[in-house]
Structure 1
Amino acid sequence: MLSKDVVRTRLQRYNTSDGDMYRDHPLGTAAVLVPLLYRDDTLHVLLTVRSTEVRSHKGEVCFPGGKTDPEDKDSTHTALREAEEEINLKPEDVDVLAKISPVPSKAGILVTPVIGFIPDGFQPTPNTSEVSDVFTMPLENFLRAEGHTSKNITWKGLSSQMDYFEYEDNGTTYVTWGFTAAVAMMAATLIYERTPDFEVKTAVGSYAKYLSDRRSKLIATRNSSKM
């Protein structure tokens, strides 16, 4: 089991305020909260299912989050405000660990992932106009081949790989894919410091390879210093 201290230390290496530099980005900015908690001594991530009443991403698995409001102080403020609005998670109950570099959504919006611990016993109260369901799943599942499938897609003339993660919780099967899956994979890669068990042809795969190569060089340096 990874302790909270280990998770905190690993994530803080990648903490950045990059996302707050782009508030004037012409396509807009947003932030999502990646809420971590422990269930049965296993690190889980909390996810929501979008309501069918929202204008976009109806019924999709997402992180709590949304577009930046002019009154928001920074991306952390955006993520925490949206989480409170969507699932009644109080900002003071979130132990923010890190903000990682913004990720462009399919629409071009720059989205900053804000990663933090929430209370293990947190009981969400979904705002049903936005959220139809809430569940948790082990974060490491986003690095495992079991439950993972992928397919090649073409978007605006560019080829890419779309990753899907299937998970059953309390008799309901959830499928996480697209942007949310990519962010979850990035968070898992940073926290577990390992590459996925499957081939990844997206930026996540390049990032995972970078971490693996850097770790190999670090081990080699340590070994040579012992000689």
Structure 2
Amino acid sequence: MLSKDMVKTRLQQYNTSDGDRYRGHPLGTAAVLVPLLYKDGDLHVLLTVRSSEVRSHKGDVCFPGGKTDPEDKDSTHTALRESEEEIKLPPEDVDVLARISPIPARDGMLVTPVIGFIPDSFKATPNNEVADVFTMPLENFLQTEGHSDEEISWKGIPATLHYFQYKTNGKTFVTWGFTAMVAMIVAAVIYKRTPDFDLENSMDSYIESVRDARSKLYATRNSSKM
């Protein structure tokens, strides 16, 4: 089992404050918390399911998080504030390990993933935005079992959508799109390996391609404002 110290050391190699550079992004910024915990000796990640009461992405599996408020100090503040609102996770109970570079969501908003350990005993109390909460082994996001993908064009940029099916407590959840991408990157960094399924390039190249897509989108939107 990977120790907390080892997880932190590996994530720190990718730690950045890049997300706070983009607060003026025309399509907005947001942050999500990638909550890690240990369950039955395995490293798990906590995920939520959006309820039917939210305006967008109803029923999607996602990380707790949301849009940046003007009062938020930084992306970590955003992620912790939203997590407390959505699942009653006290900010002081989160051991923040790292922030990775912001990633464009499908609506173009730039989202900064904030990774942290939460208590293994944490029990979520969802608000009306959250229909369900579950955990799954983080390493599943590097394995072929339950995985599928499809090729798409996003904002004119070729991209691959990854899907991960997981069954727990008699329910089946499918994590895909942005959330799956973030989970794949975090898992690859922590376990220091590429996924078992095919990627065109190494995970480092994959991460770099995500950064390029973000930069191109940001430049295009800024140009349109001139």
Same fold per superposition (TM over 0.5): yes
Superposition map of 1:1-227 within 5 A: 1-127=1-127, 129-201=128-200, 206-207=205-206
Runs of 5+ in structure 2 lacking a partner?
Answer: 210-226
Runs of 5+ in structure 1 lacking a partner?
Answer: 211-227
Instruction: Decide whether aligned partners of structure 1 residues 137 and 27 sit closer, same or farther in structure 2, where only a CA change above 3 A counts.
Output: same
- % of aligned pairs identical? 72
> Which ranges of 4 or more aligned residues in structure 1 deviate by more than 4 Å?
201-205
Q: Distance in 2 between matches of 1:203 and 1:196?
A: 9
Question: What SS does structure 1 have at the residue aligned with 2:193?
Answer: coil
Q: Which has the larger radius of gyration?
A: 1
Q: Distance in 2 between matches of 1:75 and 1:105?
A: 15
How big is the alpha-carbon RMSD for the aligned residues of Structure 1 and Structure 2?
Answer: 1.7
Amino acid at match of 1:66: G
Question: What SS does structure 1 have at the residue aligned with 2:30?
Answer: strand
Normalized against structure 1, the TM-score is what?
0.88
Q: CA deviation at 1:154?
A: 2.6
Give the equivalent residue in structure 2 for 1:220: none
Amino acid at match of 2:10: R
Which stretch of structure 1 is more off in the superposition, 70-79 or 21-30? 21-30
Q: CA deviation at 1:26?
A: 1.0
Which stretch of structure 1 is more off in the superposition, 144-153 or 193-202? 193-202
Q: Is the 8 A contact 2:194 2:203 kept in 1?
A: no
Instruction: Decide whether aligned partners of structure 1 residues 158 and 109 sit closer, same or farther in structure 2, where only a CA change above 3 A counts.
Output: same
Once the two structures are superposed, residues 62-112 of structure 1 have per-residue CA deviations (whole angstroms, 9 ceiling, x without a partner) of 000000000000000000000000000000000000000000111111100
Normalized against structure 2, the TM-score is what?
0.89
